[in-house]
């Protein structure tokens, strides 16, 4: 800042008007002293101004470096939201509960009619005791001139049926048999004897093929 020369001259003029005699040298010294005082004052003021600017800049830089030191945030005043009156929701018509159709059980399979059990084979009838001189019903299964293979086969078949007593002999030992069968009385015969005609008929049925004939005879040669 420049020294105000005009002001300094006015001050010197005021001193002169008060009757004060100031030598020229003294006047020069006063001017220089005042100029120095003004310069010092200006320098001090400038220094203070600069120091203030530096301090302010340092504070601003510190604020910039500190993220948490933020400027006060203005609190937003919440804008009242107008309440909307919700329209009444129409009640829904209840859905009718569907009635479940009763489950119809599958038809029960009718029991299959089992085939009737086959009748068990009848038990072969009991043979006669073959008492000498008694009458019996004789069923002949083999008649041949002699005891051959046919006679042996018939004997084995009778054994399989459960008849184990003596069953063979001359046809002449059964009176009335040779005449009824039309065979020679000397031929060899294989027969089973029963007390009744029914038993004889049942045996002949069980035996099947191979029966020569059934005759009621009088037993002989049984001693």
Nearest in space to 127 (alpha carbons), one of 176, 190, 199: 199
Sign of CA dihedral 212, 218, 220, 222: positive
Q: What is the pLDDT of residue 71?
A: 47
Residue pair 130/186 in contact by the 8 Å Cβ criterion:
no
Who wins on pLDDT, 28 or 200?
200
Element at 36 (helix H, strand E): helix 24-65
Question: pLDDT tens digits for 58-76?
Answer: 654 565 455 444 444 445 5
pTM as predicted: 0.48
**Whole-angstrom distance, CA of residue 39 vs CA of residue 4:** 11
Q: What is the pLDDT of residue 29?
A: 75
Element at 136 (helix H, strand E): strand 135-144
Phi and psi dihedrals of 191, rounded to 5? -145, 160
Q: What percent of the chain has pLDDT over 70?
A: 48
Q: Within 13 Å of residue 199, how many CA atoms lie on the same side as its CB?
A: 15
Count the neighbouring beta carbons within 10 Å of the beta carbon of residue 22. Answer: 13
Question: pLDDT tens digits for 132-169?
Answer: 999 999 999 999 999 999 999 999 999 999 998 877 89
Sign of CA dihedral 20, 26, 31, 35: negative
**CB within 8 Å of 154: residues ≥ 6 apart:** 141, 142, 190, 210
Question: pLDDT tens digits for 21-53?
Answer: 556 566 567 667 766 666 565 455 556 554 555
**Whole-angstrom distance, CA of residue 147 vs CA of residue 40:** 182
Question: pLDDT tens digits for 83-106?
Answer: 554 555 555 555 555 555 666 666
Q: What is the pLDDT of residue 73?
A: 47
Residue 19 scores a pLDDT above 60 = no
Who wins on pLDDT, 15 or 203?
203
Q: Residue 16 CA to chain centroid, in angstroms? A: 129
Torsion angle (degrees, nearest 10) of CA 142, 144, 147, 152: -30
Q: What is the pLDDT of residue 162?
A: 93
**Whole-angstrom distance, CA of residue 175 vs CA of residue 185:** 9
Q: What is the pLDDT of residue 191?
A: 96
Q: What's the mean pLDDT in 172-194? A: 96
Q: What is the pLDDT of residue 122?
A: 85
């Amino acid at each position: 800042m420049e020294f105000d020369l005009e002001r300094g001259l006015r001050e010197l003029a005021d001193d002169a008007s008060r009757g004060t005699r100031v030598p020229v040298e003294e006047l020069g010294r006063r001017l220089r002293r005042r100029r120095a005082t003004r310069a010092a004052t200006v320098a001090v003021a400038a220094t203070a101004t600069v120091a203030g600017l530096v301090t302010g800049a340092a504070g601003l830089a510190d604020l910039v470096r500190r993220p948490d030191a933020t400027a006060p945030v203005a609190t937003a005043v919440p804008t009242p939201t107008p309440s909307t009156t919700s329209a009444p929701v129409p009640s829904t018509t209840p859905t009718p509960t569907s009635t479940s159709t009763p489950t119809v059980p599958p038809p029960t399979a009718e029991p299959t009619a089992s085939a009737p059990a086959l009748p068990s084979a009848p038990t072969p009838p009991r043979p006669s005791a073959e008492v000498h001189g008694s009458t019996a019903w004789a069923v002949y299964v083999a008649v041949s001139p002699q005891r051959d293979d046919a006679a042996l086969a018939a004997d084995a078949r009778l054994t399989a049926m459960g008849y184990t007593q003596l069953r063979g002999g001359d046809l002449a030992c059964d009176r009335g048999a040779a005449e009824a069968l039309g065979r020679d009385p000397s031929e060899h015969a294989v027969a089973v004897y029963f007390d009744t005609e029914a038993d004889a008929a049942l045996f002949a049925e069980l035996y099947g093929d191979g029966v020569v004939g059934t005759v009621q005879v009088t037993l002989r040669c049984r001693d």
